[in-house]
Amino acid sequence: MLGTGLIGLFYTTTLIDRRSCDSIRVVYSRTEERAKAFARQWDIPRYTTDLKAAIEDPETDVVVIGLPNDCHEEAVSLAAAAGKAVLCTKPLGRTAEEAKRMLDMVEKAGVFNGYLEDLVYTPKTLKSLESVRRGALGEILWVRSRETHPGPHSAWFWDPRRAGGGAIVDMGCHCVEIARNFIGKNNRPVEVMCWTDTLVHPIDAEDHGIGLVRYESGAIGQFEVSWAFRGGMDLRDEVSGTHGTILLNHWLRTGFDLFTSGSSGGYVAEKVETDTGWLFPVGDEVQALGYVHMFRDMLDALDEGRPPMETFYDGYVVNAVIDACYRSAKTKKWEPVELDYWRADSPTPRIKLNANEIDGKLLIKEEYMPDGTIKRIFRDKESGDISQTSVPAP
């Protein structure tokens, strides 16, 4: 386990705290004090401030990277050199170029690699992806993914030199990959349009970002991120298809409402901006954030000799989309997604619903009316003229 911050804590909780057959044998932190405290808290046999030593530890089978963004490449490079399986937190790199170097390292070394994009692994997302694969929504038209909260916990996130950017590189990476999973990993992200601004915080990086990613099929992946949302953390996804719709609320409204006047003394609830009034807790946070199913897939995949659902290649594609976003935010126009590697089986065709034809006219809409008739709206193929008829319902 590399890293003892919030993300290292979530990963460790998930890996250890569940009657698991897996264990953490050595933990690395940049400061000895934190490494030691973390090892003690979680009953980890060894701790170290030597990154190389942690990775090369003979009991280390899998290297789990939970470090700041600017430390990923070095850790991946050491893991690849040591021939160890490596799981890296999101985003993979600060730029597509950095991500590509990491991808090349692990592929050249032939080591197992997993991209720890937890939010595609939430139980709700996994079940939704299954429904989409079964055709419940028809063809996917539009996916909207939102992650907003009042800003990250650690200092380095706020420094674009270390993080690679602001809210987009921090949270947009989730949104981009969630949309890509729904729209199809075979469906090439073609171009992006993105707005960013720094509206609230005294920082150089963006604290707001909205982006549209257009895919080969015509589908749109939309993301919205903010480090200035008030009211807690808002994690929502929406998927629109030709035959159905999915609405997911992962955090703020999940069927758990608590009101407290806060007047009975003591610490009463986790602090979500406020600790009185109506609060919306989450039952099991590591589960709701996808960590449980993510590590299960990663480690099962390693055991079974198959790639996991998310690999470094996916991390690289996400970085390439984000790079295009930052370019678009500057040029103020759509920018192409530049991908040196694109690994699709085949091109994805344009979204197409074949309109019914009746008497040589295209049927636009058919509606059952309260008076028992069917109203049909047509378009003449030649003239483009719109007409309307009413027939008795069968």
Q: Contacts with a second copy in 84-123 (CB under 8 A)?
A: 122-123
Residue 7 C-beta: closest distance to a second copy, Å: 16
Site for a second copy in 266-325 (CB under 8 A): 266-269, 271, 273-274, 276-284, 287, 292-293, 295-296, 299-300
Binding of residue 202 to a second copy (CB under 8 A): yes
Which of 49, 260, 348, 373 forms a contact with a second copy (CB under 8 A)?
260
Binding of residue 10 to a second copy (CB under 8 A): no
Pairing of strands 26-28, 208-215: unpaired
Return d(Cα 368, Cα 381) in angstroms, integer.
24
Residue 22-61 contact track with a second copy, rule CB under 8 A, x = bound: x---------------------------------------
Return d(Cα 120, Cα 315) in angstroms, integer.
13
Peptide bond into 91 cis (omega under 30): yes
Binding of residue 5 to a second copy (CB under 8 A): no
Residue 67 C-beta: closest distance to a second copy, Å: 16
Return d(Cα 338, Cα 326) in angstroms, integer.
13
91: exposed, middle or buried (Cβ count in 10 Å: 0-12, 13-18, 19+): buried
Which of 45, 135, 347, 349 forms a contact with a second copy (CB under 8 A)?
135
Q: Which amino acid is at 204?
A: D
DSSP string of 208-240, one letter each residue: EEEEEEEETTS-EEEEEEES--SSS-EEEEEEE
CB 74 within 8 A of CB 95: no
Residue 245 C-beta: closest distance to a second copy, Å: 4
Pairing of strands 335-336, 208-215: unpaired
Residue 224 C-beta: closest distance to a second copy, Å: 8
Which of 327, 364, 373, 374 forms a contact with a second copy (CB under 8 A)?
364
Task: Locate 378 and state its tokens.
Answer: 């047509």
Residue 343 C-beta: closest distance to a second copy, Å: 26
Task: For the beta carbon of residue 385, count every other beta carbon within 10 angstroms.
Answer: 10
Which of 49, 95, 186, 249 forms a contact with a second copy (CB under 8 A)?
249
Residues linked to residue 240 through DSSP beta bridges, in sequence order: 142, 245
Which of 25, 52, 124, 185 forms a contact with a second copy (CB under 8 A)?
124
Q: What is the chain's length?
A: 394
Q: Taking contact as CB under 8 A, which single stretch among the options 26-34, 78-86, 105-113, 245-253 is the one that binds a second copy? A: 245-253
Q: Taking contact as CB under 8 A, which single stretch among the options 14-22, 48-56, 57-65, 317-325 is the one that binds a second copy? A: 14-22
Smallest Cα–Cα separation from 21: which of 289, 307, 300?
Answer: 300
Binding of residue 330 to a second copy (CB under 8 A): no
Binding of residue 203 to a second copy (CB under 8 A): yes
Residue 212-241 contact track with a second copy, rule CB under 8 A, x = bound: x-x---x-x-x-x-x-xxxxx-------xx
Q: How many residues sit close enough to a second copy to count as binding (CB under 8 A)?
A: 122
Which of 265, 305, 360, 392 forms a contact with a second copy (CB under 8 A)?
265
Residue 145 C-beta: closest distance to a second copy, Å: 13
Nearer to a second copy, 81 or 272 (CB): 272
Nearer to a second copy, 40 or 276 (CB): 276
Residue 265 C-beta: closest distance to a second copy, Å: 6
Task: Locate 148 and state its tokens.
Answer: 């907003």
Smallest Cα–Cα separation from 140: which of 362, 350, 355?
Answer: 350
Strand order, beta sheet including 386-392: 357-358, 361-368, 373-380, 386-392
Return d(Cα 287, Cα 116) in angstroms, integer.
14
